[in-house]
Chains A and B, each alone.
Chain A
Amino acid sequence: NAGVTQTPKFQVLKTGQSMTLQCAQDMNHEYMSWYRQDPGMGLRLIHYSVGAGITDQGEVPNGYNVSRSTTEDFPLRLLSAAPSQTSVYFCASSYSSGRFDEQYFGPGTRLTVT
């Protein structure tokens, strides 16, 4: 299994541009989520999905959209990039959202908005 994959690894955007961060998993996991990590801080939840066709907001959803058309893929869209969105973005998946389910994280996408 490849696990959780993310593309691209690095991206530089200008303010106002849009882009999509890709996330895919091959473990048939129902639950997927997106986090952002700012320097020196822990991860904060942006959006999550408990299954295909179902998404919900996390702690910091503003400026981001998600959709879940398949079990495998969970793309994160930045609608109009702002310097405050400069961060490292991690995608994660788990079998379910249960309290004892291990979450698997991707390697991250480092985004810089100038």
Chain B
Amino acid sequence: DAKTTQPNSMESNEEEPVHLPCNHSTISGTDYIHWYRQLPSQGPEYVIHGLTSNVNNRMASLAIAEDRKSSTLILHRATLRDAAVYYCILRDGFGNEKLTFGTGTRLTIIP
């Protein structure tokens, strides 16, 4: 599986945008970039995914570099409820069943 690299932790002020980076220099052409987050004492939840183009949904935006070797998850206006561990995951183009979780980025929101 292609690997991802994320900072261990980040802090952000409440009601400000948050940019969570992810490096995936060994990504293959058919790998999708997925983001999940895990709130304290809960199971992971899906946030967003993309292949090449930037993506938006109700939770976040995903900005993908032109060479696809990195991506950034953008929370437009962080709230205290966004405090979680965020995982950047690659899923290959052949129906790979598993999600390979790294240690993710622990996001702390400062009131």
Q: Is A90 an interface residue (CB 8 A)?
A: yes
Q: Is B54 an interface residue (CB 8 A)?
A: no
Question: Taking each of B43, B99, B100, which has the highest tally of chain A beta carbons within 10 Å of its own beta carbon?
Answer: B43
Give the A-B contact count at a CB cut-off of 8 A. 64
Contact check, B103 vs A58: say whether CB atoms are below 8 A apart: no
Q: How large is the interface on A (under 10, 10 to 19, 20 to 34, 35 or more residues)?
A: 20 to 34
Contact check, B95 vs A105: say whether CB atoms are below 8 A apart: no
Question: Taking each of B30, B94, B99, B103, which has the highest tally of chain A beta carbons within 10 Å of its own beta carbon?
Answer: B99
Main secondary structure of the interface of B (DSSP, over half): loop
The complex places the Cα of A38 from the Cα of B101 at a distance, in Å, of: 12
Q: Is A102 an interface residue (CB 8 A)?
A: yes
Given known pairs A99-B32, A100-B32, A107-B42, the reply for A42 and B97 (CB within 8 Å) is no
When distances are taken between beta carbons in the complex, the residues of chain A under 8 Å from B87 are: 42
Contact check, B98 vs A99: say whether CB atoms are below 8 A apart: no
Q: Among the listed A33, A43, A99, A106, which residue makes an inter-chain contact with B92, where contact means beta carbons less than 8 Å apart?
A: A99
Given known pairs A99-B32, A99-B91, A100-B32, the reply for A43 and B44 (CB within 8 Å) is yes
Question: Taking each of B91, B94, B104, which has the highest tally of chain A beta carbons within 10 Å of its own beta carbon?
Answer: B91
Task: List the A residue with the shortest CB-CB distance to B101.
Answer: A42
Given known pairs A99-B91, A99-B92, A100-B49, the reply for A43 and B101 (CB within 8 Å) is yes
B105 to chain A, nearest CB (A): 11
Task: List the A residue with the shortest CB-CB distance to B92.
Answer: A99
Q: Is A48 an interface residue (CB 8 A)?
A: yes
When distances are taken between beta carbons in the complex, the residues of chain B under 8 Å from A103 are: 36, 44, 46, 99
Given known pairs A48-B97, A48-B98, A100-B32, the reply for A42 and B43 (CB within 8 Å) is no
Find residues 50-75 in chain A having any chain B CB closer than 8 Å to their own CB: 50, 56, 58-59
Find residues 38-97 in chain B having any chain A CB closer than 8 Å to their own CB: 41-46, 49, 87, 91-97
Query: Which A positions have Cβ atoms within 8 angstroms of B?
Result: 4, 31, 33, 35, 40-45, 48, 50, 56, 58-59, 90, 92, 96-100, 102-108
Knowing that A4-B43, A42-B102, A48-B97 touch, tell me 6 more A-B residue pairs with CB under 8 angstroms: A42-B101, A45-B98, A92-B99, A96-B95, A105-B44, A108-B43
